[in-house]
Amino acid sequence: MTTTRKQAHHQIVIVGGGAAGITVAASLLRKDKSLDIAIIEPSEDHYYQPAFTFVGGGAYKLAKTKRPEVKCIPKGAKWIKSAVAEFAPEHNALTLNDGKQINYDYLVVCPGIQLDWQKIEGLQATLGRNGVCSNYLPHLAEYTWQCLREFKGGDALFTQPAMPIKCAGAPQKIMYLAADHFAKRGLAKSTQVNFCLQGEAMFGVPAFAKPLEKVAEHYGIEVDYGTNLTAIDGQAKQATFQVKNKDGNVKDITKRFDMIHVTPPQSAPDFVKQSPLADSSGWVDIDAESMQHKRYPNVFSLGDAGSSPNSKTAAAVRKQAPVVVGNLLAQMRNTSGVNGYDGYGSCPFVTSYGTVILAEFIYGGTVTPSFPLDPTLERRSMWWLTKSLLPYLYWDFMLKGHEWDIRHKPWTAPAVKSLTHS
């Protein structure tokens, strides 16, 4: 790539070639093939990350989650295989890691979320060995399955840091698969599964917290709230947690483990945090409904890096992308835009090998299922939906720019219900 003005300027620049960036680019080009779009993405591989839980549980092959990035880039878009170093939105420009400058008319920022492994003392030195696993990177997900297969009983710890994290249910999903796996191998009586989470509830949407408590109770899982992993010694098989009691006092405790699944602390990427685009917490400062930047009207953001207070999931991206596309095109054409994103998110809670609680909700924690069923129950049908149908829809519809919608409506819980399988 040269640095001539013609090659260094693009009508629309999209930062990030993950679920959000590819979906927006493909949708824009479906509506107008003449658009000049560049996607800045350093990775050569594109992953369907929601399946990492299944990989970690031995129910899905890692190879099925991966495709070459070049095959995901929509026809008509230019792929700039690099990373962003800094933004200069007042000049409609950004700088790449190699020092080259890219100018734009419109900018879409969706580089995803940053995994802050280094914030847990000793973690990086032992990750991927000594029984220390995590589904938050593809090769580590395979090690999770190795840990489950080789587990012979003892203490199995699962951690969850402060929110926000991508897919807030992921720390629990692998825990339930592990507990089910141990039970099927006859290890339930010799195993103690412990969920150590920094928060004060199993899930941020109250309607799903109680059903998830019952799932944990069914497996005999000990749940420790207000417990945050701060350090780990893989060789000694000890994890240190900062524990906050009900009085607000904080102390350090050490727990022994035979295996531990770690969910790392997460934040906006550093180059976003340090830019004029960031809010006080480091996220791209956008309107929660229009996805448009609050100070730079030709800048939009969606996905995990945005400041909108929704669950950071691929399901949210599916709903955000049409809003970004519609508002960006409206600005280009000098027509009225829309404040169309209602905070929709979806978290399929895998509760066993064969059952899922499909949690769907919008801003304010309002439960909004897409199906006329009680969404708080474990269902075998939702296992099939999550494991088989959703990956197909992701690769062949969402990333191809097809905009489809299943209407979700507010749901009111019945007066009396029981947790059953269907």
359-398, pLDDT tens digit by residue? Answer: 999 999 999 999 989 999 999 999 999 999 999 999 999 9
Indicate whether 20 and 156 sit together in one domain: no
Domain final position from 285, 312, 333: 333
Q: What confidence tier does 405 reach under pLDDT thresholds 50, 70, 90?
A: confident
Average pLDDT score over the chain: 94
Inter-axis angle of helices 138-150 and 170-184, to 10 degrees? 30
Q: Give the C-alpha separation, 194 to 216, whole Å.
A: 10
Provide mean pLDDT across the span 40-59: 97
Domain residues for the domain of 88 are 5-114+267-333
CB burial class (10 A; 0-12, 13-18, 19+) of residue 95? middle
Kindly give, in sequence order, each residue whose CB lies less than 8 Å from that of residue 10, ignoring residues fewer than 6 positions away: 36, 37, 38, 78, 102, 103, 104, 105
**CATH number assigned to the domain comprising residue 152:** 3.50.50.60
Instruction: Quote the pLDDT of residue 414.
Output: 65
Q: Residues with catalytic annotation?
A: 167, 347
Provide mean pLDDT across the span 244-249: 79
**In percent, how much of the chain has pLDDT > 90?**
90
pLDDT exceeds cutoff 80 at 178: yes
Instruction: Quote the pLDDT of residue 91.
Output: 97
Indicate whether 258 and 127 sit together in one domain: yes
pTM of the model: 0.93
Q: What is the count of structural domains for the chain?
A: 2
Q: 328: closest CA among 357, 301, 305?
A: 301
Instruction: Quote the pLDDT of residue 318.
Output: 95
Q: What confidence tier does 1 reach under pLDDT thresholds 50, 70, 90?
A: very low
pLDDT in tens, 75-104: 999 999 999 999 999 999 999 999 999 999
Inside any domain, residue 99: yes
Inside any domain, residue 399: no
CA angle, 150 then 155 then 160, to 5°: 100
Indicate whether 37 and 64 sit together in one domain: yes
CA dihedral 266, 193, 250, 241 (to 10 degrees): -60
Residue type, 38: A
Helix (H) or strand (E) segment spanning residue 204: none
Q: 341: closest CA among 299, 289, 300?
A: 289
DSSP bridge partners of 10: 104
Q: What confidence tier does 420 reach under pLDDT thresholds 50, 70, 90?
A: very low
Indicate whether 247 and 154 sit together in one domain: yes
pLDDT exceeds cutoff 80 at 284: yes
Query: CA dist 130 to 147, 161, 221, 256, Å?
Result: 9, 21, 22, 12
Indicate whether 281 and 252 sit together in one domain: no
Indicate whether 259 and 280 sit together in one domain: no
Indicate whether 169 and 277 sit together in one domain: no
Indicate whether 165 and 254 sit together in one domain: yes
Instruction: Quote the pLDDT of residue 418.
Output: 42
Inside any domain, residue 249: yes
Indicate whether 54 and 66 sit together in one domain: yes
